[in-house]
């Protein structure tokens, strides 16, 4: 009989081991790589199953099990790891309103419960000593975290110093670092233009941003924060809510959506309200957090190994729909990557109609065995980008049902044989100079705002001039004639004059942006700046070896190899020769790239609003940082002044008037810098 039970138990023991391994890998990919492989609900369901199995087999207890510790974001290089003064635990999660009701009813009678929005970002712990910010730690493994204070100081909503008499000698504030939806969309648009992997959601984007080694790039992306817990010794207030109100009075960013509830009905009403209203918020939320308000009662209720007993999170269910996959089409990107696209029966998700979603690559299609005619699950939970999460079981074995489609072996646009680089999932069209989407995509990238910034050459105009035989590559832009442009449909002489003026002005764009504009694969805006700083002319860069290029920060072997290959291609060299003849800046020093450095703006926070005549917004941001200032996207009482151009935003102007923030014109600002 004992042998029989052992045989029954054995598969469950194996399941326990497999779940531990799977959840450890999922934690690593979520916290360290910012590439989640499981949805929150899938992860939690597997975690609950593991907890049940461990209770079934106490002899298999392991202190290293995922049930005994929180996931860790440690492992990134370049940050000091510091032990938390108080462990940063995770929260118990529930997806059931019935479970939340039960949790509330089990609490002592007459307990006050604070309900808060659960912001979907990266946990942070801020340490203040004598009112000065001294540490900013990520959750890490719950016991120690990475000190990312240099990056945290770029966030305008986090004060560096609290100058008040009532601030204790030490206190710690915890919260979430977030990327607002508008900034997230801008960042993903930039990455899409560079054909870099898109961030699935703002949480991944915020996490990846906070672990960058370049605070300037962190500042540019526009992170924000909401703080939700104060901890320390001899702090003011006997309740959680009182402490948050104190933190708000000290100048910290505390949500206005916090509410003290006194009954189950009030809690459920709060959840019901925000389940809908959260969709109108400027940042991502994925649930509600409930906390016992009285701090003494919190202490009495205590903790489990990884969660407090006095708090719980209710997670909003991800919004998903089942819809028909009508057909799979294939798109060719600027760098030749072939992306399969699911064309779907239109379905409404989170207020938008979804008709298309990426199928990523050939491997994804094969893993899910996706065929036209299948019914696909489309999800938009914490994601802003619709994604295919699975397919429904097929209801028929009809032999006429299409088989899994073969990935094309030739480019759907130019017919060239596709290639697949070893170690990569994507197929690629190698015909860079003859494939229409690649040609037009390179031109669109070249004229974009952060590259050569040529007005009048949008996607439709480029397509028109390409079809008319006037544009075949980026060098052709500088051979365009007034009469040729004016003769085109929907353009005319005025449009032609404006376009030629923009083309002429682009000849003053600095070397680092020219390098970025060339569209060398994987050389983004920030990487181009670092390369241009090391190699101050195209002549020196052209002869750099891959080994020399790898010595530059953020340039790995693949980027180095792409640069070397670019300069080995005779077609690229011919284009570069024509661009040089046209007068582009192929070396530093003779353009606005030479920015003077000083401390004239030291300690000042500056907001830029409007349009400008003498420099671009990006150039003004660079000037502010070079002179010791700090850029901010929003007006607050900490704003020193606003650099105000034409068509300044009315909301920023109104806020400035309310707070008495002064406005400087473009000329006044340049005069200030001398």
- Please identify every residue annotated as catalytic: 118
Beta strands across the sheet bearing 320-332: 352-358, 338-349, 320-332, 375-379, 387-391
Contacts of 441 (CB under 8 A, 6+ apart): 333, 334, 335
Reference 380, options 28, 39, 36; nearest CA is 39
Beta strands across the sheet bearing 662-664: 630-632, 605-609, 641-644, 662-664
Report yes or no: 381 and 287 within 8 Å, Cβ to Cβ.
no
DSSP per residue, 70-89: -------TTSEEEE-SS---
The tokens describing 180, both together, are: 């607002």
Beta strands across the sheet bearing 93-94: 93-94, 311-315, 285-292, 113-119, 259-261
The tokens describing 75, both together, are: 């492992």
| Diameter over CA atoms, the chain | 95
Q: Kindly report each contact of residues 500-505 with a partner whose C-beta sits within 8 Å and lies 24 or more positions away, as own/partner.
A: 502/453, 502/454, 502/455, 502/456, 502/457, 503/454, 503/477, 503/478, 505/453, 505/454
Let me know if 123 is exposed, middle or buried by CB neighbors in 10 A (0-12, 13-18, 19+): buried
Task: Look up tokens 């969660």; give the residue.
Answer: 307
Q: For the chain, what is the radius of gyration of the CA atoms?
A: 28
Contacts of 496 (CB under 8 A, 6+ apart): 482, 483, 485, 486
């Amino acid at each position: 009989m004992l042998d029989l039970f052992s045989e029954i138990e054995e598969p469950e023991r194996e399941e326990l081991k497999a779940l531990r391994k799977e959840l450890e890998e999922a934690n690593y990919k979520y916290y360290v790589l910012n590439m989640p492989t499981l949805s929150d609900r899938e992860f939690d369901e597997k975690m609950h199953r593991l907890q049940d199995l461990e209770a079934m087999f106490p002899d298999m207890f392991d202190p290293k099990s995922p049930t005994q510790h929180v996931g860790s974001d440690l492992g990134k290089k370049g940050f000091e790891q510091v032990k938390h003064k108080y462990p940063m635990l995770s929260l118990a999660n529930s997806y059931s309103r019935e479970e939340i009701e039960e949790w509330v009813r089990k609490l002592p009678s007459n307990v006050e419960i604070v309900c808060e929005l659960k912001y979907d970002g990266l946990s942070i712990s801020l340490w203040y000593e004598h009112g000065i910010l001294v540490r900013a730690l990520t959750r890490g493994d719950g016991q120690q975290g990475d000190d990312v204070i240099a990056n945290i100081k770029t966030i305008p909503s986090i004060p560096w110093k609290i100058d008040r008499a009532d601030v204790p000698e030490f206190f710690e504030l915890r919260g979430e670092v977030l990327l607002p939806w508008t900034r997230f969309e801008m960042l993903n648009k930039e990455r899409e233009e560079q054909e870099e992997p898109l961030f699935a959601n703002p949480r991944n984007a915020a996490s990846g941003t906070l672990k960058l080694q370049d605070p300037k790039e962190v500042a540019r992306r526009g992170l924000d924060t909401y703080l939700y817990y104060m901890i320390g010794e001899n702090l003011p207030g006997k309740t959680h809510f009182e402490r948050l109100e104190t933190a708000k009075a000290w100048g910290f960013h505390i949500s206005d959506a916090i509410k003290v509830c006194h009954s189950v009905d009030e809690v459920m009403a709060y959840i019901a309200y925000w389940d809908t209203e959260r969709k109108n918020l400027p940042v991502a939320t994925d649930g509600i957090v409930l906390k016992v308000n009285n701090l003494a009662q919190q202490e009495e209720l205590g903790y489990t190994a990884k969660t407090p007993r006095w708090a719980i999170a209710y997670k909003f269910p991800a919004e998903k729909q089942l819809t028909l996959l009508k057909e799979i089409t294939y798109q060719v990107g600027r760098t030749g990557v072939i992306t399969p696209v699911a064309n779907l029966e239109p379905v409404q998700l989170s207020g938008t109609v979804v008709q298309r979603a990426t199928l990523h690559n050939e491997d994804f299609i094969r893993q899910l065995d996706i065929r036209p005619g299948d019914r696909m699950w489309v999800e938009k939970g914490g994601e802003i980008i619709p994604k295919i999460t699975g397919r429904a079981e097929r209801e028929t074995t009809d032999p006429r049902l299409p088989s899994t489609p073969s990935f094309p072996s030739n480019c759907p646009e130019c017919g060239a044989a596709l290639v697949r680089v070893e170690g990569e999932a994507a197929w690629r069209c190698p015909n860079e100079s003859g494939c229409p989407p690649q040609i037009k995509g390179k031109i669109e990238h070249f004229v974009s705002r952060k590259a050569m910034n040529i007005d009048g050459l949008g996607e439709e105009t480029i397509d028109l001039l390409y079809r008319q035989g006037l544009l075949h590559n980026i060098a052709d832009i500088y051979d365009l004639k007034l009469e040729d442009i004016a003769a085109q449909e929907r353009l005319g002489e005025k449009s032609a004059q404006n376009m030629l003026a923009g083309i002429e002005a682009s000849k003053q764009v600095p070397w680092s942006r020219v390098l970025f504009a060339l569209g060398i694969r994987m050389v983004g805006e920030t990487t181009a700046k670092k390369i241009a700083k090391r190699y101050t002319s195209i002549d020196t860069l052209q002869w750099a070896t891959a080994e020399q290029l790898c010595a530059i920060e953020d340039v790995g072997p693949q980027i180095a190899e792409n640069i070397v290959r670019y300069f080995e291609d005779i077609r690229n060299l011919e284009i570069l020769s024509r661009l040089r003849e046209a007068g582009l800046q192929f070396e530093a020093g003779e353009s606005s790239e030479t920015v003077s450095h000083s401390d004239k703006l030291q300690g000042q926070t500056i907001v830029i609003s409007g349009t400008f005549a003498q420099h671009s917004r990006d150039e003004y941001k660079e000037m502010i940082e070079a002179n010791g200032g700090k850029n901010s996207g929003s007006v607050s009482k900490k704003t020193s002044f606003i650099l105000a151009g034409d068509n300044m935003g009315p909301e920023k102007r109104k806020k400035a008037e309310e707070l008495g923030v002064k406005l400087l014109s473009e000329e006044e600002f340049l005069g200030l810098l001398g």
